[in-house]
Amino acid sequence: GAISNRVSVQGALDFNDITLVETQIEDGAFSGTATGGEESAAMTASMTGTFSGLLTGAEGTEAVGSILIEPEDTSVASSEIGVFVVE
């Protein structure tokens, strides 16, 4: 999957999509690696991270989760923390 249409809080910067690397679901839970997320115009440092979540809903067809993305370049002092819902 992917997280797309990403903009900064101020709305001034666009960011590349975050790709959620395919993973296994076990007992309704999942976790894996996330890549991407760089600022589109500046092409700043590569970003990697992790995500995790649970299947929800009466038939297990929805999901909720969290994601943490950090730059691979340790001189960049930013990171992203977020939540996602899939219906």
Q: How far, in Å, are 27, 43, 62, 85 from residue 46 at the CA level?
A: 32, 8, 30, 25
Q: At residue 49, does pLDDT exceed 60?
A: yes
Question: Across residues 10-27, what is the average pLDDT?
Answer: 83
Is the overall model pTM greater than 0.85, yes or no?
Answer: no
Name the band, by pLDDT with cuts 50, 70 and 90, for residue 45. Answer: low
Q: 11-50 burial string, b = 16+ CB within 10 Å, else e?
A: eeeebbbbebeeeeeeeeebebebbbbbbeeeebbebbbe
Alpha carbon distance 59, 73 (integer Å): 42
Q: At residue 64, does pLDDT exceed 90?
A: yes
Name the band, by pLDDT with cuts 50, 70 and 90, for residue 17. Answer: confident
